[in-house]
Amino acid sequence: MKQLIVLVVLMAGITAMAQKPERERGHRGDMKDMTPEQMATLQTKQMTLALDLTDAQQKQIQSLNLDNAKNRAEKMKEMKAKRESGEAKKLTSEERYAMKTAMLDRQIAQKEKMNKILNNEQYEKWEKMKMDREGHRRGKGMKGHQERANGK
């Protein structure tokens, strides 16, 4: 009987320890209080570590990341204002199409700029990191689609 009680207490302790609070899970909640400059700097430093960037590359990528961070912050501010004012409405198919097209155009431009800044090895590694990140964010997303297409 004592063994059963010890086992139950042990299992309850393990279960409680395994459930991390939301603030410790790596949520992006800590990023929402940062300025675009801070986000761009952190992102550039992470890329420097991952891709072994030169000083010149760091400066170019810092500028690119800053532009992207400012654009994202502006879009988020607009969406928040619309939500709070009650203007948020369901988009028409044309509006969704325009937004998706604009987003894809920005991604294509980003890819072209990165291709000009990075050497071939760095660019391939950046592409792989990007695909891994997108797959993780979407629950495999395109990566899972590619695996199914390849018969894996």
* pLDDT tens, position by position, 42-76: 999 999 999 999 999 999 999 999 999 999 889 88
Q: Cα–Cα distance between 113 and 64 in angstroms, integer?
A: 8
**pTM of the entire structure?**
0.65
Both tokens of residue 46?
């992470």
Q: pLDDT (tens digit, 9 = 90+) per residue, 74-122?
A: 988 888 888 888 777 777 889 889 989 999 999 999 999 999 999 999 9
Residue type, 1: M
Both tokens of residue 45?
């430093």
